[in-house]
Amino acid sequence: MDNSVENLETDSKMYASYDSMSNPSLALTDSDSLSSSSEEEFSLKQNFEDDVYSSVKRVDPHTGYKKVLVTGGAGFIGSSTAQHLLERGDDVVIVDEMNDYYDITQKEKNLHRLVSAYGEKRVKVYRADICDEKVMHNIFNIERPEWVCHMAARAGVRPSIQDPHIYIHSNIKGTTRLLELSHEFGVKNFVFASSSSVYGGSKSTFFSEDENVDNPVSPYAASKKTCELLAYTYHHLYKLNVSALRFFTVYGPNGRPDMAPFMFIDRISRGKEIKQFGDGSSSRDYTFVSDIVDGIVRAIDRPYPYQIFNLGKGDGTSLKDFICYVEKHTHQKAKICVMPDQPGDVPYTCADVRKAKILLGYQAKIPFEEGIRLTVQWYNNEYLKLHENMFKKQKILEKKKTELVSFGKNTERILCSY
C-alpha cells in the first residue's frame, strides 16, 4: 500500500468498477440560500477549519498484515468491511449475536459468503453478545486482536423511542466492554461506528465534527454520543487510539431491510404502497456502502490518538428526488401514502467531510443515482432469487385473503336478498 495519503488507494475490489468514475462534486448545494454576508462568514469558517485540520499531525497508514476484530461482522456494513479486509490479505475475527432486529437470512448469507470464500482459518466467527463479559474476555484472550472495528449496535431512531433500554444495553454497555478489553489487551487502534444522528436538529448547512452535539433528539442519538464520550475517556486515561466515525445514511447491496433505500426499492418494485413522512422536502446525505467501507479502512490503518470523522457523500438528496430515482430504475410508479413527520427525525443531514479528506484521504465516489441503480441491480439479481419462495407464499396468502373477502361479500348479498 502506498504511504502517501493523497495517493493511497483502499477501494474494495468488490467495487473495483467504480474506480474509473470521477469523484462527485463537493460544491455547497445549499449556498444559494445564504445571504452574501453569511456566505463570506461561512467561507471564513471553512478556511479556518481547513487550516486547523491541516495543522493536525497526520498519522501515516500502517501497512502489512492485520488481524482485525469486527463486531457486527454479519451485518450490512460489518460484513462489507470484513470482505474488504480479507481481500487485501488481513484476517478477521467476527463477533455477532445474530439478533432478530431484522430477518437474519441476509446475515447468514453474508457469513456463508465470507467463510466459503476465505476459509475458517482466516474468518473466525463467534456468535456472541458483546455485552457478555466472560465470553468477550475469552475471545480477546484466544484471538489477541490488535485492531478493533466495532460496527455492532442496536440501530434505528424510531425504535429507540419505543424501547430505549435495549439501546443503553447494546450500544453503551457493549461499547464500554470493548473499550475496556481493548485497553486490557493492548489494542493498537479502536475504530467504531457513531452516527450522524448525534447532530440532532442542527441548523448548520453542513454538519461539522466541531459542532456542539449536546442536544440529541432520540435515545439512539444519545447512545452514540455517550459512546463517543466514553471512547475519549479511555483515550485520556489509557492512551487508547480511537476514531469515532459518524456515518451518514448508508445504503447499497445487502442493505438493512428496515432502511428507506431498501424498503422503497422493495415495495415500489412489487407494487406496494410506501410511506412518505412529511412533504418530501427533507433530505439525507445518502452514502454508498463502498464509500463508507473505504473510510472505515482508512481510519483503521491510521491510529490517530482520538479523532471524530464524518463519513458521508457531502451533499443531500431530497425525499422527493429519492423516490423519483427509485421509480426510474425499477420502472415502476410509486404508490405513496403521505404521513406526518416522525418524532426524533431531523429535517436534513449533510456531511462536512473536509476533515476526513485531509486526515484520511477520504472522498466518496458514488453519486446517489448510480448507487440506487446498483442497489436495484443487486435486488433484482440476488435478493429476489434468495427470497423467491417467500414472495410466492405471500402472493398465495394475499390471493386467498382476497378470495375470502370476495366470498364474504357475496354471501352477505345472498343473505340480504332473502
- Please write the tens of the pLDDT for every residue from 154-193: 988 888 999 999 999 999 999 999 999 999 999 999 999 9
Q: How would residue 143 be classed by pLDDT, with cut points 50, 70 and 90?
A: very high
Who has greater pLDDT, 28 or 417? 417
Least trusted range by pLDDT, from 129-143, 155-169, 176-190, 290-304: 155-169
Q: Report the chain's mean pLDDT, rounded to a whole number.
A: 85
Who has greater pLDDT, 367 or 3? 367
Cα separation, 40 vs 83, whole angstroms: 44
**Listed ranges 18-27, 179-188, 379-388; the one with the highest mean pLDDT:** 179-188
Cα separation, 353 vs 314, whole angstroms: 6
Q: How would residue 25 be classed by pLDDT, with cut points 50, 70 and 90?
A: very low
Per-residue pLDDT averaged across 255-259, rounded?
90
Do 12 and 83 form a contact (C-beta atoms < 8 A)? yes
* Segment 264-279, tens digit of pLDDT: 999 999 999 999 999 9
pLDDT at 389: 62
Per-residue pLDDT averaged across 18-29, rounded?
33
Cα separation, 104 vs 98, whole angstroms: 7
pLDDT at 52: 65
Q: Which residues contact 250 (CB under 8 A, 6 or more apart)?
A: 76, 77, 287, 288, 289, 292
Q: How would residue 1 be classed by pLDDT, with cut points 50, 70 and 90?
A: very low
Q: How would residue 13 be classed by pLDDT, with cut points 50, 70 and 90?
A: very low
pLDDT at 349: 85
pLDDT at 343: 75
pLDDT at 399: 59
- Is 34's pLDDT higher than 90? no
pLDDT at 393: 59
Per-residue pLDDT averaged across 285-294, rounded?
98
**Listed ranges 50-59, 73-82, 94-103, 159-168; the one with the highest mean pLDDT:** 73-82
- Which CATH fold would you assign to the domain 53-405? Rossmann fold (3.40.50)
Per-residue pLDDT averaged across 309-334, rounded?
96
- Is 24's pLDDT higher than 50? no
Q: What is the 3-state secondary structure (H, E, C) of the chain?
A: CCCCCCCCCCCCHHHHHHCCCCCCCCCCCCHHHCCHHHHHHHHHHHHHHHHHHHHCCCCCCCCCCCEEEEECCCCHHHHHHHHHHHHCCCEEEEECCCCCCCCCHHHHHHHHHHHHHHCCCCEEEECCCCCCHHHHHHHHHHHCCCEEEECCCCCCHHHHHHCHHHHHHHHHHHHHHHHHHHHHCCCCEEEEEEEHHHHCCCCCCCECCCCCCCCCCCHHHHHHHHHHHHHHHHHHHHCCCEEEEEECCEECCCCCCCCHHHHHHHHHHCCCEEEEECCCCCEECCEEHHHHHHHHHHHHHCCCCEEEEEECCCCCEEHHHHHHHHHHHHCCCCEEEEECCCCCCCCECCECCHHHHHHHCCCCCCCHHHHHHHHHHHHHHHHHHHCHHHHHHHHHHHHHHHHHHHHHHHHHHHHHCC
Active site residues: 220
